[in-house]
Amino acid sequence: MSGGKETSIFTNLTPTDDADPDGSYSKALSFAFEDPRIKNIAITGPYGSGKSSIIRTYEKNSTYKFLNISLASFKEDNNSIDTSLIERSILQQMLYGADANKLPYSRFKRISTPTWPLLKAMLLVLWPILLFFLYHSRNELLNIESFSLTWFFCILLIEVAVLLPVILVSNIYKASFGLSLKK
């Protein structure tokens, strides 16, 4: 134990990102990714042969964006594989990797942080006050001859008063889409 770093007798069995020193696997993967006719790529080999290390090495040295998908066992009780469960698992993992705001109508619900919750709450509280102000200023608004900065401000407030409920209903619709009523 000299020098501060202990050498271990154990070997780390996790994938590495330096598994392709001569670059032959990376060349083969680049060829496959760049050919538009190739739609499916498979890396096969026995357990422990380094498939994940090859992928991780290519991912580290590539400009492509990758999405790692993990598949568990999908065998039914009768030892048959349910392909619909595999497809569903892949789809869920792909959707969970995407931003929930970019896919608002997805049936797969994800944990998402509300956007601007304080501002939306303030607008919801200010909306009735805005309507009250507009109701009491209605005589001035209807008199077009008295065009002034106040009149322009009131027209702007009317537009906001109409827009707020539209935004609110849109957000309620997006939040409730995909909810199901069950027993």
For 98-133, the pLDDT digits (tens) are 666 666 666 666 665 666 666 777 777 777 777 787
**Host domain of residue 148:** 117-176
Q: Is residue 39 part of a domain?
A: yes
C-alpha to C-alpha distance for 154 and 134, rounded to whole angstroms: 7
Q: Is residue 82 part of a domain?
A: no
Where among 48, 66, 84 does a domain terminate?
66
Give yes or no for a contact between 74 and 81, defined as CB atoms under 8 angstroms apart: yes
Q: Is residue 43 part of a domain?
A: yes
The average pLDDT across 1-20 equals 76
Domains identified in the chain, total number = 2
Q: Is residue 32 part of a domain?
A: yes
Q: Is residue 84 part of a domain?
A: no
| Mean of all residue pLDDT scores within the chain | 75
The pLDDT tens digits of the residues spanning 74-103 come to: 566 677 777 787 888 888 777 776 666 666
The pLDDT tens digits of the residues spanning 144-153 come to: 665 565 666 7
Helix (H) or strand (E) holding 128: helix 117-136
Most confident listed range (60-69, 88-97, 131-140): 60-69
Q: Is residue 154 part of a domain?
A: yes
Give the chain's length. Answer: 183
Q: Is residue 150 part of a domain?
A: yes
Q: Is residue 106 part of a domain?
A: no
Give yes or no for a contact between 140 and 151, defined as CB atoms under 8 angstroms apart: yes
Specify the pTM: 0.45
